Amino acid sequence: MKNEKLQKLREDYAKSSLDESEVDKNPFKQFGLWMEEAVKSEVPEPNAMTLATVDANHKPHSRIVLLKGLEDDSFIFYTNYVSDKGKELEQNPNASLCFMWLELERQVRIDGKVEKLPKEESEAYFQQRPYKSQLGALASNQSAEVPNRAFLEKKFEELEKKYPEGKVPMPETWGGYRVIPEAIEFWQGRRSRLHDRVKYELTGEKWNIKRLSP
């Protein structure tokens, strides 16, 4: 596609507004309200979020993961601990999340520290996953190179024969993380690119709220 076409792609947002005087004083409650609206609006994969990490050479990497919990003022997701993102989080526990609900013209950015969930919590969630998702986690040494897709499918079939439903063990290298926020920004699209940006920053135990220029 030519640059001229890309440069002409634009939307003028006008669905809603966001004012710092009207948001909940607790950013987690405000996030919960927005997530409920995203679910009710049938936004595709409303819990999909970009996870950005930094490697040992200070190079950033991002990918989409799924939010699977809001507990103890933290955002929870699950993955393979020896994947690229797992290794990066081991080296540098700082991470950033970003939700984009385009249908609602909204975005939420979250910056914070990451820590692993206790194994028993990861185990409890793993046992709730669909049977084939459990097998998939066991079959995939995430981020490792494989010769072809047939290699993965063969491994999956072998595990399917080995482990009946309800008997799949959680991989030792798989589990959950919690992102403990230090800053959360809510973005609402507005006309003429004068978007609303409301940011919560944690100072001690208090969340300070401020409006940012778009």
Residue by residue, DSSP assigns 1-15 as --HHHHHH------S
In a domain, 157, yes or no: yes
Q: Is residue 6 situated within a structural domain? A: no
Tokens matching residue 152: 């993965």
Determine contact, residues 62/136, Cβ cutoff 8 Å: no
Residue 186 pLDDT greater than 90, yes or no: yes
Residue 23 near residue 29 (C-beta atoms within 8 A):
no
Among 10, 109, 178, 193, the active-site one is 193
111 shares its domain with 38: yes
Ramachandran class of 59: left when φ > 0, alpha when ψ lies in -120 to 50, beta otherwise: beta
Rg (CA), the chain: 20
Distance CA 130, CA 74 (A): 24
The question of whether 193 is a catalytic residue gets the answer: yes
> What's the whole-number average pLDDT of the chain?
96
* Residue 64 pLDDT: 98
Range of the domain at 135: 129-169
Evaluate whether residue 91 is within a structural domain: yes
Confidence of residue 8 (pLDDT cuts 50, 70, 90): confident
pLDDT at residue 50, rounded to an integer: 98
Question: Is 93 found in the same domain as 196?
Answer: yes
Kindly tell me the sign of the dihedral angle through the C-alpha atoms of 142, 35, 110, 197: positive
**C-alpha to C-alpha distance for 69 and 24, rounded to whole angstroms:** 20
Q: What's the confidence (pLDDT) of residue 162?
A: 96
Asked whether the predicted pLDDT for residue 106 surpasses 90, the reply is yes
Averaged pLDDT for residues 135-147: 92
84 and 152 in a common domain: no
Which whole number is the average pLDDT over 165-172? Answer: 96
Calculate the alpha carbon distances from 126 to 26, 93, 137, 161, 195 in Å: 30, 23, 9, 19, 40
Q: What total number of domains does the chain contain?
A: 2
Q: Which phi and psi (to 5°) does residue 8 adopt?
A: -90, -5
Angle of CA points 97, 58, 186, to nearest 5°: 20
**For position 94, what pLDDT does the model report?**
97
Whether 20 has a pLDDT exceeding 90, the answer reads yes
CATH code assigned at 118: 2.30.110.10
User: Full-prediction pTM beyond 0.85?
Assistant: yes
Nearest Cα neighbor of 67 from 35, 92, 103 is 35
Please check whether residues 88 and 117 belong to one and the same domain.
yes
Given its phi and psi angles, is residue 61 left (phi above 0), alpha (psi -120 to 50 degrees) or beta? Answer: beta
Q: Look at residue 2 and tell me if it is in a domain.
A: no
Q: Both 149 and 49 in a single domain?
A: no
**pLDDT on residue 15:** 92
Mean pLDDT of 13-38: 96
